[in-house]
Amino acid sequence: MDVISIIRTKRDRGELSGEQIDWVIDAYTRGAVADEQMSALAMAILLNGMNRGEIARWTAAMIASGERMDFSSLARPTADKHSTGGVGDKITLPLAPLVAACGAAVPQLSGRGLGHTGGTLDKLESIPGWRALLSNEEMLNVLNDAGSVICAAGDGLAPADKKLYALRDVTGTVEAIPLIASSIMSKKIAEGTGSLVLDVKVGTGAFMKTLDDARELASTMVGLGTDHGVRTVALLTDMSTPLGLTAGNALEVRESVEVLAGGGPADVVDLTLALAREMLAAAGLPDADPAKALADGSAMDVWRRMIAAQGGDPDADLPVARETHVVTAPASGVLTRLDAYDVGVAAWRLGAGRARKEDPVQAGAGVSLHAKPGDSVVAGQPLLTLHTDTPERFEYALKSLEGAYDVAPAGTEFSARPIVLERVSA
């Protein structure tokens, strides 16, 4: 086997054999295939795709690169959720403790930001003391104590994916459906959860821009999960507009706590409850009422125990950016569009995301939204507030917001897309 031949095969739209896939994943994990070579192969996969057999073998090779976890010792059924990434997508933060408050165990392995989309671990690391890296024993202890845990995949869990995940972020290959599906499902299958709900984003701020692409990705992942004995279902959800009223790390943590306290933006609450009901049904708890667990404070209690169990202080002040810049409405009327991708790029350029896998992120950086599509606005009123510690970033961030929003004359009818567009099951 040699990597050049494998790259050429996929470059020339050929089908990789199972032996080629097994070899290249193993060799890349061991360091025998260089980053630039795997980058070339990832780009060839993005451009030319993989068939169902190749994706299944690629996923199996990723799983085989490391260990598999076992949660059979827990007294509760396990349920997990994964989002394909969006702007303002803080849903995991209130969702995991909410589902745990309803009786399931939630072993939530999460990732960092990819391009213009935020990362759950980056958000939670804005909480003083909170730790993303836990041993398997620590993860089980948090699950037993709090019922939910949100942490990074350990080095032993699909290590091939850990390397490739970071590489995709900085080589323009994030959007490749075979690589998205295998990345997500290799970790989730190796993690050992009994059931999985996928939140597949659709729209300008998502990696899947069209319903057809989202259906393809969802169907691929549901099939992979089902074939490996994991009860898997997917919701296709709207990502044409940012979720909630914030995009950024500490900003989104604050908003998530508002949801757990019984408030928060309606779209965040609605999607959190929809995913919670799917997770509870998949875990065999269809009669549990997540809305009640939000209202009575039990989900907040789990959040506080979970954060504390991972070294964080749930009462600590969250970081605030040193500098802000306000973008005002250009005219009076109805806000009819606020592009999720453009807002995500602005937050990324302000410091909420990274351009290289080694880059740090700013905890306080991001964008606050003062209006959503369908809202009436007055010329000159605040539309967005940009946050950063480095004000020289404002100019670059503002360029991404040129043409990001539309204001129509007062009285213009506006019809918002529902947050949940479709459901995909086995």
Q: What is the pLDDT of residue 139?
A: 94
Structural domains of the chain, count: 3
355 versus 180: which is more confidently predicted?
Answer: 180
Mean pLDDT for the stretch of residues 244-249: 98
| Whether 374 and 257 share a structural domain | no
> Which residue, chain included where needed, has tokens 């306290």?
261
Q: Does residue 57 lie in a domain region?
A: no
| Whether 189 and 311 share a structural domain | yes
| Whether 127 and 100 share a structural domain | yes
Q: Please identify which of the residues 83, 148, 183, 240 carries the catalytic annotation.
A: 183
| Whether 249 and 185 share a structural domain | yes
Token pair for residue 185? 């499902």
Determine the Cα–Cα distance for residues 378 and 333; give it in Å rounded to an integer: 7
| Whether 245 and 391 share a structural domain | no
Beta-sheet strands, E only, within 339-396: 366-369, 376-377, 382-388
Mean pLDDT for the stretch of residues 224-250: 95
Residue 221 has pLDDT above 80, yes or no: yes
- Domain with residue 272: its CATH number is 3.40.1030.10
Residue 414 has pLDDT above 70, yes or no: yes
Q: Which DSSP letter does residue 68 get?
A: -
Residue 111 has pLDDT above 90, yes or no: no
| Whether 94 and 232 share a structural domain | yes
Q: Does residue 420 lie in a domain region?
A: no
Q: How many CA atoms lie within 13 A of 411 on its CB side?
A: 0
Beta-sheet strands, E only, within 153-230: 195-202
Q: What is the pLDDT of residue 21?
A: 98
Residue 355 has pLDDT above 80, yes or no: no
Percent of the chain with pLDDT over 90: 85
Determine the Cα–Cα distance for residues 404 and 386; give it in Å rounded to an integer: 14
Q: Own/partner pairs for 263-272, CB < 8 Å, 24+ apart?
A: 264/94, 265/372, 267/243, 267/372, 267/419, 268/90, 268/91, 268/94, 268/243, 268/244, 269/294, 270/419, 271/91, 271/199, 271/237, 271/243, 271/419, 271/420, 272/91, 272/94, 272/95, 272/98
Partners of 369 in the beta sheet? Answer: 384
Q: Which of 292, 316, 340 is the C-terminal boundary of a domain?
A: 316
Global confidence as pTM: 0.90
Q: What is the pLDDT of residue 357?
A: 66
Q: What's phi and psi for 335, nearest 5 deg? A: -75, 115
Q: What is the pLDDT of residue 124?
A: 97
Determine the Cα–Cα distance for residues 154 and 190; give it in Å rounded to an integer: 11
Residue 170 has pLDDT above 90, yes or no: no
Q: How many CA atoms lie within 13 A of 349 on its CB side?
A: 18
Domain holding 189, by residue range, is 80-155+169-316
Band the pLDDT of 96: cuts 50, 70, 90.
very high
Q: Does residue 60 lie in a domain region?
A: no
Mean pLDDT for the stretch of residues 296-319: 98
Q: Does residue 9 lie in a domain region?
A: yes
Mean pLDDT for the stretch of residues 87-109: 97
Band the pLDDT of 59: cuts 50, 70, 90.
very high
- Domain with residue 393: its CATH number is 3.90.1170.30
Q: Which of 283, 316, 349 is the C-terminal boundary of a domain?
A: 316
| Whether 201 and 291 share a structural domain | yes
Partners of 382 in the beta sheet? Answer: 328
Q: Please identify which of the residues 161, 199, 267, 342 carries the catalytic annotation.
A: 161
Contact 268, 307 (CB under 8 A): no
Q: Please identify which of the residues 10, 82, 215, 305 carries the catalytic annotation.
A: 82
Q: What is the pLDDT of residue 118?
A: 83
Residues 6+ positions from 266 with CB-CB distance below 8 Å: none
183 labelled catalytic = yes
| Whether 27 and 92 share a structural domain | no
| Least confident segment among 22-36, 145-159, 306-320 | 145-159
Q: Does residue 69 lie in a domain region?
A: no
Determine the Cα–Cα distance for residues 359 and 364; give it in Å rounded to an integer: 15
Q: What is the pLDDT of residue 117?
A: 84
13 labelled catalytic = no
**Beta strand pairing call for 231-238 and 366-369:** unpaired
Residue 98 has pLDDT above 70, yes or no: yes
Residue 162 has pLDDT above 90, yes or no: no
- Domain with residue 22: its CATH number is 1.20.970.10
332 labelled catalytic = no
Q: What is the pLDDT of residue 396?
A: 96
| Whether 110 and 239 share a structural domain | yes
Residue 252: CB atoms within 10 A of its CB come to 29
**Torsion angle of C-alpha atoms 383, 261, 101, 74, degrees rounded to 10:** 70
Q: What is the pLDDT of residue 82?
A: 94
The average confidence (pLDDT) of the chain is 95
187 labelled catalytic = yes
Q: Does residue 139 lie in a domain region?
A: yes
Q: Please identify which of the residues 112, 187, 201, 231 carries the catalytic annotation.
A: 187
Residue 115 has pLDDT above 80, yes or no: no
End-to-end CA distance of the chain: 36
Partners of 323 in the beta sheet? Answer: 388
| Whether 131 and 149 share a structural domain | yes
Q: Does residue 187 lie in a domain region?
A: yes
Q: Please identify which of the residues 163, 168, 305, 387 carries the catalytic annotation.
A: 168
Residue 359 has pLDDT above 90, yes or no: no
Q: Does residue 67 lie in a domain region?
A: no
Determine the Cα–Cα distance for residues 358 and 182; give it in Å rounded to an integer: 23
Q: Which of 269, 289, 316 is the C-terminal boundary of a domain?
A: 316
